[in-house]
Amino acid sequence: MESHSASLKVYFIPSVFTSHLVHLFELCRCLASRGVHVIFFSTPSTTNLLHKSLLKAEAAGHRIHVHNLKFPSQQVGLPEGVENVVGVDNLDAITKVGQGMALLRHQLEQFMEQNPPDCIVADMFHPWTSDFANRLGIPRLIFDAAGVFPACCKESVRRLPNFPHLVNSNSNPFILPGLPHQITLTFSRLPEYIQNTTPLTQFMESVRDSESKCYGRIINGFAELEEEYIEHYKKTTGKTVWHLGPTSLLNSSSEDKAERNLKAAVSEDEILSWLNSKQPNSVLYLCFGSVAPFADEQLLELASALESSGHNFIWVVDKKQRTEHETEEDRQKWMPRGFEERMKREGRGVVIRGWAPQALILEHVAVGGFMTHCGWNSMLEGISSGVPMITWPLHSEQFFNEELILRVLGIGVEVGADNCGVFNVLLGIATKNMVKRHRIESAIRKLMGGGDEAVEMRRRVRKLAEKAKAAVGEGGSSQQNLTALIQDLQEMKSARTKAQIDNINKGGGN
C-alpha cells in the first residue's frame, strides 16, 4: 500500500474548534501512516498546540508537513496569539476566532492554486472548499467531527411537513420521518440554528450546500456503530462515507491518550492511583466536552445530586474562573459548603478544574458510568471503553446523539434535559430549563446502582467496545476503509493524469 500511496498528496484544512481540530489531526495521522504525503494547514499557535503529536509523527517517519498561515488577529480584534478556541471562554472572542478562520480563505486558495493537491479534506467550517475543489477537478472530503446518525436525523427534520416553520410546538413530540428506527423528538431538542433563524442558520445552509457538492465524508467512528445509517446516508445523499476510527483507540501511549495535545489539569499518576484504589465499575466520570460552562445554579444542583447519590465520581468542571484560588463565598455559589473537602476526605470524589485526560480515565476498569453532553467524540470514547452513559445533551446535534445512545443502542439513561441552546450555555445563562437535583440523582442511581437494566446496558456497550477495537485492528473495518479510501483517491488521480495526457495528445494544451 505504501508505495502505491506515496505519490498522493492530501491537504487537511482544520477548524479552530478544539474537538474538531484534535480529531481531524488524528485522521490526518491515519493517512500519513500509510505513506500519503499530507499537508496540514495551521497557524503558529495551533502548531504549538500540536507540537507533541507532530514530533511523534516525525519520529514514526510519517510525512506530515505543517503549513503555517498568518492568522489575522488584528483584523478581527483579537490579541496576538489567540488563533483557536483553546482557552477562550466567551462568545464574543469565539465569534472573532471564527471570523479570523474565515479570513484564511484567501491564503489557502492562493497556496492550493499554486500547489494543487490530489484531495482536500476540509472541516465543515470551510464550506467554500467544495466549489474550490470542483474547480481544481479534485475531490473534497468533509469532516464535521460527528457520525452519519446525526447527519441523517438533521436531514430527516427537513422532511417534516411543517419545516422550517416548526414554531410553537415545543412540547409536542414528533417522529423523524424515514429513518431506520423510530426517533421521537420535540422542537426544543432540535439544534438551536433550526429552532431560530440566526446567522448560524444561514451558515449551516452553506455547509449543507457544500456537503452536497463534496465527494464524501470521513468520520471518527467505526462502521459497526451505525451500519443502518451508513446505508441510509448513502441512499439519501448519494455520498460515500469512510469510518476510520475510533481515533482514541489508535493512540497507543497513555501520554497520547491523556493529553490530546492539551495539558491536562491533573497528573496522569495522580488520577490513575486514585482510580486504582476503587472497585471495578464503581466510579462515575462526568465531563461535558470542550464548550460547556454551566451556570452556577446548575452546577450546584449537580454537586448536590452527586453527594446524595453516594457514588464515587470524577467531575470535570470546565470554567476557567473556577480555580482553586476562588474564595469560599464564590465556591458556595456552585457547590455545597465543604463539598470538595468532604468528598476528598471520604475518598468519594475528585473535581478536575480544566482539561481532563478523558480517554485515559474512561478506559480504567473502575469507571462504570459516564455522564456526558453527548458530543460525538465523547460518546464514541465512552463506547470504545465499554462504559454506559448518563445523557445530558446541551447544544448542536447532541440531542440526536442522545437518541442513538438511548433508543438505538440501549446503552444509557437520560437525565431529562430538554432544551437545546449553545448560546445560552456559552453565556452561562442556561438556568431556564435547569435539570433539578432529584432527576440527576435518580439517573445516577439507575446507572450506578447495579440493577438489571444497568447490567444489560453494560453488557451491550462492552460488545460495542469489542467491535470498536476490532475495527482499528489488523483487517478491521476502519483499516479496510482507509485502504479503500486511498485506493479511490489513487484511481481518481490516475484518471486525471490520463485525461491530461489524452488532452495533450489531442493538442489541447496543458
Closest residue (Cβ) to ligand UDP?
Answer: 375
Q: How far is the CB of 41 from ligand UDP (least distance, A)?
A: 20
359 binds ligand UDP (CB under 6 A): yes
**Binding of ligand UDP at residue 19 (CB under 6 A)?**
yes
Residue with cell 483507540: 249
410 backbone dihedrals φ, ψ, rounded to 5° = 60, 45
Asked whether position 376 contacts ligand UDP by CB under 6 A, the answer is yes
Across 298-420, where does the E strand assignment appear? Answer: 312-317, 349-353, 367-372, 389-391, 412-414
Helices (H), 83-146: 91-102, 105-114, 128-136
- 252 CB-contact burial (10 Å; exposed 0-12 / middle 13-18 / buried 19+): exposed
Query: Least CB distance from residue 378 to ligand UDP, whole Å?
Result: 3
How would you classify the pairing of strands 174-175 and 184-185?
antiparallel
We find the least distance from the C-beta atom of residue 362 to ligand UDP, in angstroms, to be 8
* Residue 279 CB, nearest approach to ligand UDP (Å): 24
State in angstroms the smallest separation of the CB of 244 from ligand UDP.
Answer: 15
Q: Which of these ranges, 167-175, 187-195, 302-310, 356-364, lies near ligand UDP under the rule CB under 6 A?
A: 356-364
Contact status, residue 66 vs residue 50, Cβ threshold 8 Å: yes
Least distance in angstroms from the C-beta of 425 to ligand UDP: 10
Active-site residue among 37, 118, 123, 144? 123
Active-site annotation holds for 20: yes
Binding mask 236-265 for ligand UDP (x = CB under 6 A): ------------------------x-----
Write down the H helix ranges in 248-375.
254-259, 268-276, 296-309, 328-331, 339-345, 358-362
Minimum gap (Å) between residue 152 Cβ and ligand UDP: 18
Q: CB-wise, 112 or 151, nearer to ligand UDP? A: 151
Number of residues that bind ligand UDP (CB under 6 A): 17
Annotated active-site residue 23? The verdict is no
Q: Residue by residue, what is the 3-state secondary structure of 450-503?
A: CCHHHHHHHHHHHHHHHHHHHHHCCCCHHHHHHHHHHHHHHHHHHHHHHHHHHH
Rule CB under 6 A: say whether 377 interacts with ligand UDP: yes
Of the pair 145, 194, the CB lying nearest ligand UDP is at 145
- All three cell numbers of 216, joined, read 464524501
Of 5 and 220, nearer to ligand UDP (C-beta) is: 220
Q: Which is nearer to ligand UDP, 147 or 476 (CB)?
A: 147
The number of angstroms, rounded, from the C-alpha of 260 to the middle of its chain's C-alpha atoms is 13
Between 292 and 489, whose beta carbon lies closer to ligand UDP?
292
CA dihedral 384, 23, 236, 212 (to 10 degrees): 180
User: Is position 375 an interface residue for ligand UDP (rule: CB under 6 A)?
Assistant: yes
143, three cell numbers: 469532516
- Give which of 299, 248, 200 is closest to 29, Cα–Cα: 248
Q: Please identify, using beta-carbon distances, which residue of 375 and 388 lies nearer to ligand UDP.
A: 375
Q: Nearer to ligand UDP by C-beta: 120 or 359?
A: 359
In the shown chain, the binding pattern of residues 87 to 126 toward ligand UDP, with x for contact by CB under 6 A and - for none, equals: ----------------------------------------
CA-CA distance, 203 to 214, in Å (whole number)? 16
Question: Could you tell me which residues come within 8 angstroms of residue 475 by beta carbon, excluding any fewer than 6 positions away?
Answer: none
Specify the residue, 278 or 395, whose C-beta has the smaller distance to ligand UDP: 395
**Contact residue for ligand UDP among 85, 204, 244, 291 (CB under 6 A):** 291
CB of 141 to ligand UDP, least distance (A): 19
Q: Which of residues 410-449 bind ligand UDP (CB under 6 A)?
A: none
List beta partners, residue 84. Answer: none
What is the C-alpha to C-alpha distance for residues 365 and 386, in angstroms, rounded to an integer?
A: 10
Of 125-133, 175-183, 370-378, 477-485, which part binds ligand UDP (CB under 6 A)? 370-378
Residues in 271-290 that interact with ligand UDP by CB under 6 A: 287, 289-290
From 107-115, 234-242, 338-346, 355-363, span contacting ligand UDP (CB under 6 A): 355-363
Please confirm whether the linkage preceding 150 is cis (ω < 30° from 0).
Answer: no
Phi then psi for residue 236, to 5 deg, are -85, -25
Single residue of 12, 125, 355, 399 touching ligand UDP by CB under 6 A: 355
**Residue 282 corresponds to which cell in the numbers above?**
464503581
Asked if 371 interacts with ligand UDP (CB under 6 A), we say: no
d(CA 417, CA 433): 8
* The binder of ligand UDP chosen from 316, 390, 468, 472 (CB under 6 A): 316
Within residues 132-151, the interface with ligand UDP by CB under 6 A covers: 145
Per the listing, cell 452527586 goes with 306
Rounded distance between C-alpha atoms, residue 402 and residue 399, angstroms: 5
> Which residues, at least 6 apart from 17, have a Cβ–Cβ distance to it below 8 Å?
84, 85, 125, 145, 290, 291
Taking the CB of residue 340, how many other CB atoms lie within 10 A of it? 16
356 binds ligand UDP (CB under 6 A): yes
Catalytic residue annotation? 20, 123
Interacting residue ranges for ligand UDP, rule: CB under 6 A: 19, 145, 260, 287, 289-291, 316, 355-356, 358-359, 375-378, 381
